[in-house]
Amino acid sequence: MTVVRSASIALYALALGGQRFCCPRPQQGFVVRLLFIGDVFGRPGRTIVRRLLPQLKAELQPTVVVANAENATHGTGMTRSAFEELSAAGVDIFTGGNHTLGKPEILDLMQEHATVLCPGNISPAIRRHGSVIWQTPSGPIAVVNVMGQYCMNGVDNPFRYMEEVLTDAEIAAVSVKVVDFHAEATAEKAAMLRLLDGRMSAVLGTHTHVPTADARVTAAGTAFITDVGMTGVRSSIIGLDPEVMMRRLETGIMYAPRVAEGDATLMAVVVDIDASTGSSTSITLLQRDH
């Protein structure tokens, strides 16, 4: 297990804009604040992250910033330049999904940067890139990336994979544990919550690019949302140019998809977690256009 040290400063509770869902539980220690950004799609997604993230970090002072970046370059994969752009904007850890391997250079990025993750159940060859432990002044945070099986090809069982992850000695020793579950089916995500409830601090869904209205903190202290949503052009078809996608749908001809242009929306969640117990105390939906 790779351990990465952070230069971030521990944060205390601040007033947040957006809709906040809490679990009435007294906090025992320092608060770890996670800012998790939903699927960053193409240049419009990178642009709004670059423009808004420094401001959001000043406002919210997150302990760690995680972004799903499997669509960061032209909607498929992440190049080195996209990684450097998002890193410079303030993203600490990058999660992925079914498009992560869309750019060959991602393999070099994963070798060079332990904070560039790929779902660990995609292939045994890259299993060790499925998680990272991020060191902060409030203590370590384990971030795990796993992918669902429904409508996905060549993926190992995500439930068995997560049981393996939780038995890893280094991860088991960490109180604050977060998973990006990149999956198509809402039922599969609900089942993952059932498996991990009370065992992970947060179970956050990605992949569909459509934010869901079911954010909550369970009685066992796990923050959950079926899908965080997409950071990209909202007036698109899940990030793609509507004109091209409509032609594909109307004719059945597989025209090459194209990233939509226009103003983007940043979609994210903010999760506050008790550093000593690993229990989440709130999850807040965050959407910013400017």
Which residue type, as a one-letter code, is found at position 220?
A: A
The pair phi, psi for residue 139, each rounded to 5°, is 120, 175
Confidence of residue 22 (pLDDT cuts 50, 70, 90): low
CB 158 within 8 A of CB 146: yes
Both tokens of 103, joined, read 């750019």
Catalytic option among 99, 113, 129, 290: 99
Cα distance between residue 161 and residue 68, in whole Å: 20
Both tokens of 159, joined, read 């439930």
The answer to whether 71 is annotated as binding is yes
Residue 281, SS3 per DSSP: strand
The answer to whether 290 is annotated as binding is no
- What CATH number should be reported for the domain whose range is 31-233+263-289? 3.60.21.10
Cβ-Cβ contacts under 8 Å for 167 (sequence gap 6 or more): none
pLDDT at position 23 is: 58
**Average pLDDT score, the chain:** 91
pLDDT at position 6 is: 44
Cα distance between residue 270 and residue 256, in whole Å: 35
- pLDDT tens for 237-288 read 999 999 999 999 999 998 988 999 999 999 999 999 999 999 999 999 999 9
Strands 20-22 and 64-68: unpaired
Q: In 10 A of CB 238, how many CB atoms? A: 18
Residue 46 pLDDT exceeds 60: yes
Provide mean pLDDT across the span 175-182: 98
Cβ-Cβ contacts under 8 Å for 52 (sequence gap 6 or more): 266, 288, 290
Percentage of the chain beyond pLDDT 70 is 90
The answer to whether 182 is annotated as binding is yes
CB 189 within 8 A of CB 97: no
The answer to whether 70 is annotated as binding is yes
Residue 141 pLDDT exceeds 80: yes
pLDDT at position 101 is: 87
- pLDDT tens for 90-140 read 999 999 998 988 898 999 999 999 999 999 999 887 888 999 999 998 899
CB 71 within 8 A of CB 239: yes
Closest CA to 196 of 133, 104, 280, 99: 280
The answer to whether 39 is annotated as binding is yes
> Does residue 99 have an active-site annotation?
yes
Of 151-165, 191-205, 263-277, minimum mean pLDDT range: 151-165
